[in-house]
Chain A
Amino acid sequence: EVQLVESGGGLVQPGRSLKLSCVASGFTFSNYGMNWIRQAPGKGLEWIADISSGSSYIYYTETVQGRFTISRDNAKNTLYLQMTSLRSEDTALYYCARQDSSWVYWGQGVMVTVSS
């Protein structure tokens, strides 16, 4: 069974950093690209970054470009999102999702709250 489990969220002050993790199981992690998608409270969904299976290709949405870094460790079956210079508008539930032709498998999400 494919499972994606995010962790690392919490309450953080504006301007500070936080690193999210997504541990994958039930499939060969190194064969798949991965994504981070977020959802602000009561709002819609926003794709924020993706990374290819071997980390050769990485893309970000403009709103996080230069502040967030997506990475992966295929030996640990883990996807990461390093978030710096956090803003109140980064407050959201952050999901990881496996890159198939469409996003079939999602984690349960991890909450990040940016507030002083």
Chain B
Amino acid sequence: DIQMTQSPSFLSASVGDRVTINCKASQNINKYLDWYQQKLGEAPKLLIYNTNSLHTGVPSRFSGSGSGTDFTLTISSLQPEDVATYFCLQHNSGYTFGAGTKLELK
């Protein structure tokens, strides 16, 4: 089974900061990595699919990059509404989520 190691588990940043969240796969997952945002009490929402494709309606301050085993979600300028927990998901072989990154405002 593919394991996903997500870091950091907790992140505190200020409005306007550039924020990066990382996911590392235990083996090559090609481009099949998605990023989800989950706000308190809500279902996860798709942000980025297949490493770097922005889902419809998602602000352009969100971007994804990477390949193979190492992937990054970047928020170019943090906004208050971005406070949430972020998860990566590999779907190259089965489905495995990262453990999540809780993002808070400093």
Contact = CB atoms under 8 A, between A and B. Distances in A.
Interface of A: 35, 44-47, 59, 61-62, 95, 101-104, 106-109
Contacts of A95: 43
Interface stretch (B66-74, B76-84, B89-97): B89-97
Nearest to B100: A44
A101 B43 contact: no
A52 B87 CA distance: 25
A101 B50 contact: yes
- Could you tell me the dominant secondary structure of chain A's interface residues? loop
Contacts of A47: 94-97
Pick the 10 closest A-B CB pairs, nearest first. A47-B95, A106-B43, A102-B49, A45-B97, A44-B99, A102-B34, A44-B100, A104-B46, A102-B46, A44-B97
Contact of B44 (A59, A101, A106): A106
Max chain A C-beta neighbours (<10 A), residue from B55, B89, B94, B95: B95
A115 to B, nearest CB: 22
Interface of B: 1, 34, 36, 43-44, 46, 49-50, 55, 87, 89, 91, 94-100
A46 B44 CA distance: 12
A103 B46 contact: yes
A47 B46 CA distance: 15
A109 B44 CA distance: 10
A46 B46 contact: no
Contacts of A102: 34, 46, 49-50, 55, 91
A45 B44 contact: yes
A112 to B, nearest CB: 16
A108 B34 contact: no
B50 to A, nearest CB: 7
Nearest to B34: A102
B43 A109 contact: yes
Contacts of A46: 97
B65 to A, nearest CB: 17
B43 A107 contact: yes
